[in-house]
Structure 1
Amino acid sequence: MYRVEPVAERQTLADLIRGKSLGRDLALIIGFSLFVALTAQIAIPLPWTPVPITGQTLGVLLTGAILGPRRGALAILLYLVEGLAGMPVFAGMTSGLAKLLGPTGGYLLSWPLAAVLVGWLAQRGWDRRIPTALAMFCFGNILIYAIGASWLNIYKDTFGQISVMWAGVYPFLPGDALKIVIAALVLPGAWALFGRNER
């Protein structure tokens, strides 16, 4: 008789912390929401676009990869709630509903979805080898660009004659490529360090 072997539990790096509990998960969600807030303060404004260069995409993608899809999305949603509540967690120590509804709102709203995508792939072992980690983070970044630039297109009359791609995608490619490489080196390295580098 054919017997189906049980499927091993899908894990992310956060699951290696001993003792599963609601308290642990809440601490991770709150901690990573604050981590994204810190990466938001690495901000360089560009004169021709309302979209600044920030470290946030690195924070968002690592949050999804380390926490997994559910906790990762919750951490990013908590970050957005913190900003809506008036905490200065958005880029440039800003906050408020105007940020979420303004030209850069699409990028902010894309982040929970990017965390879900990256976290889902990480649960399936994409974060354990450099080539698949690179692909995983590229997919997350493409999703952010797609939603962010589409939203930015609504505001194209507010930033002059340049195209939406020059306002919301092209200037950010070199920095995002560097962030993706950093993240794709960190995650497999962390798995190797913990001796869990198998799918």
Structure 2
Amino acid sequence: MVTHLFTNGGLMEVIQKIFPTDTTTSSTSVIAQTGWILLFAALTALGAQIQIPHQPIPFTLQTFFVLLSGAFLGTRNGFIAQLFYIGIGAVGLPVFTGASFGLVKVFGLTGGYLISFPIAAALVGYFVTIQKGYVWTIISMFLGLIVVFTFGTLYLNFIAIHNIQQAIISGFLIFSWWDILKLSAAAAIYNEFAKRYR
């Protein structure tokens, strides 16, 4: 049923209703947007392979590209890029950590983090448009990280740890320094781009 959603038009119809596109958009623009969506899905997959092993959740660069996809692509396309990333992994492409794939991974220990990626990207994409500046970009991306860690920690607690304090330590606090670094770098990259081109 889940793979059916990703391989048929039903899911895209739902996305179209949530994030309606401009009907006047040219075919060239659509092709360009599709290219950027595919690029950030690929970058997220690459980020999953760059990891520092740790149990139960490894350190990776996934959220770095999740934050950037939302900032660069906007609410709709950032959401789609991350949903596409999850979808291709769910149907069998080895894009998750350690070149893993499948529904077992989507609903495994890191499932909460994965499921949060489209929501986090959409949230970042929305907030970065409200105001310009490095500080506001950091705030926008921080809100995205809150979504990631809320979903990830609660799901980790539900599926494996069954102790919310330990889940917060294992699924959030231990990664805080790492994600502050990623957030700072992502915000700096996007802010420099925004100053030059937006």
| Both proteins in one fold, TM over 0.5 | yes
CA drift at 1:157? 4.1
Mapped to 2, the partners of 1:92 and 1:176 lie a distance apart of 20
Question: Can you give the 5+ residue segments of structure 2 that lack an aligned partner in the other structure?
Answer: 1-26
Mapped to 2, the partners of 1:157 and 1:122 lie a distance apart of 35
Larger relative helix fraction: 2
Mapped to 1, the partners of 2:170 and 2:68 lie a distance apart of 25
Mapped to 2, the partners of 1:178 and 1:157 lie a distance apart of 27
Q: Which residue of 2 aligns with 1:111?
A: 117
Runs of 4+ that moved beyond 6 A: none
Aligned length: 173
CA drift at 1:171? 1.0
The one-letter amino acid of 1:108's match is L
Q: Note if 1:155 corresponds to 2:159.
A: yes
Q: Which structure has the larger Rg?
A: 1
1:1-199 paired onto structure 2 within 5 Å? 21-46=29-54, 49-125=55-131, 128-157=132-161, 163-194=166-197, 196=198
| SS of the residue 2:57 aligns to | coil
| SS of the residue 1:21 aligns to | helix
Mapped to 1, the partners of 2:93 and 2:151 lie a distance apart of 24
- 1:62-86 per-position Cα deviation (integer Å, ceiling 9, x unaligned): 0011000100010001101110121
**What percentage of residue pairs aligned between the two structures are identical?**
36
TM-score, normalised via structure 2 length: 0.82
TM-score, normalised via structure 1 length: 0.81
| SS of the residue 1:176 aligns to | helix
Identify if the C-alpha distance between structure 1 residues 131 and 20 changes in structure 2 by more than 3 Å, giving closer, same or farther: farther
CA drift at 1:41? 0.8
Question: Of the two structures, which has the highest relative contact order with CA contacts closer than 8 Å and spacing of 6 or more?
Answer: 1
Identify if the C-alpha distance between structure 1 residues 74 and 138 changes in structure 2 by more than 3 Å, giving closer, same or farther: same
Cα RMSD over matched residues?
A: 2.1
- 1:7-58 per-position Cα deviation (integer Å, ceiling 9, x unaligned): xxxxxxxxxxxx9621111111111110111111111121xx3211100000
Mapped to 1, the partners of 2:133 and 2:186 lie a distance apart of 11
- 1:110-161 per-position Cα deviation (integer Å, ceiling 9, x unaligned): 0000011000112223xx3111011111111011111110100113349x9x
The one-letter amino acid of 1:141's match is L
The one-letter amino acid of 1:76's match is Q
